Homo-oligomer: A and B are copies of this chain.
Amino acid sequence: MKKRLVIVGLGLIGGSLAKALRGFEDYEIIGVDVSQPTLRYAMEQDIVDRAEADPVRALAEGDLVFLCLHPQGIVEFMTEHRNHFRPGSMVTDVCGVKGAILKGAGVLPDTVSFVGGHPMAGTEFSGIQHALANMFHGAHYILTPNNQSSPEHLALMERLARYIGCADVVQTTAEQHDAIIAYTSQMMHVIAVSVCDDPSLFDYQGFEGDSFRGCTRVAALDVPLWTQLFSMNAEALGRALEQLEENIRQYRQAIQSGDLEGLSEKLARSSARKRKMNRMEASSGAVGRDRWEGSRDGATTSES
């Protein structure tokens, strides 16, 4: 008998997972969404085997459940439906923060195995019509198990990540994941919006160059999603930003005080670090590196 894989939330990531998971082992794919047009589209395009508007009915059948809602939606869904997951089922999510999700998963009964997940891919679009079967090709898939996670579940997630084309699967703690994300991704988004808050933004239109575009590209972000991602990772992100503010302040003080020697030393140290990083990246082969945020063809990403 076929097993059932339930995808709750057929947006960009849920839809892409459905497409990418076609033919994975012996799973039948059931898509759940609150939007009837989305469910209809998923059936018409043969993205799912079955469309289901009622999560309770879908969960009763689900062997493996993917929660692909917005961050807060995932937490609320687990709370509301904690008694609707089939005993013995395995539950995972795709959220870009993990500590808050693992905390939320604490409501699940012992009969359910939960593994937090973050397939690091996305595009600047949203919605199932932009879903891509190759969305996860070359991406990192980070897993953050908790004490309810079963070894079978982790093994399944590894096979699944390979099947959808991920370059690697990394197990880590939620804290480590959230610190990485705070620094490498969320901080870049705070920088981008902070630069665009400058009153001069439009005055100098046309004089911005590659460094300006590279730095501000991600400022055109999905506001509700990033409001949730930032606030659900407040501790790690707050720490990273405090460090950044201090680093910028040190450069500013060296510049304003005319401390050329100090400024030169700081620039030498930092540029040497960046060159070392470039060398490490070049020599590592960088498989999957380009997929971390899921940018494709240089498009603006809004990784979550």
> A residues near B, CB below 8 A?
120, 140, 179-180, 183-185, 187-202, 204-221, 223-224, 226-227, 230-231, 234, 237-238, 240-245, 247-249, 251-252, 255-256, 258, 260, 263-264, 266-271, 273-278, 280-281, 284, 289-290, 292-295, 301, 303
Contacts and interface: CB of A to CB of B under 8 A. Distances in A.
B198 A247 contact: yes
A274 B219 contact: yes
Contacts of A230: 251, 255, 263
A139 to B, nearest CB: 10
Given A193-B271, A238-B256, 4 more contacts: A190-B251, A191-B215, A230-B255, A231-B258
Contacts of A208: 184, 289, 292
Contacts of A218: 211, 214
A266 to B, nearest CB: 7
Given A205-B281, A215-B214, A295-B210, A227 B185 contact: no
Nearest to A197: B247
B209 A180 contact: no
Given A194-B244, A198-B240, A234-B256, A292 B220 contact: no
Contacts of A284: 206
Contacts of A212: 184-185, 188
A251 B140 contact: no
Given A198-B243, A209-B185, A223 B271 contact: yes
A14 B13 CA distance: 51
B231 A193 contact: no
B274 A220 contact: yes
Contacts of A245: 245, 248-249, 252
Contacts of A179: 200
Interface centre among A189, A214, A243 (most CB of B within 10 A): A214
A260 B301 contact: no
Contact of A120 (B192, B202, B209): B209
A48 B94 CA distance: 61
A186 to B, nearest CB: 9
Contacts of A190: 248, 251-252
A288 B207 CA distance: 9
Query: Which 7 residue pairs of A and B lie closest in terms of their CB atoms, listed nearest first?
Result: A209-B293, A214-B214, A209-B292, A219-B274, A188-B211, A194-B247, A193-B270
A120 B275 CA distance: 24
A252 B241 contact: yes
A15 B237 CA distance: 46
B209 A303 contact: yes
B219 A270 contact: yes
A221 B267 contact: yes
Contact of A180 (B140, B207, B216, B219): B207
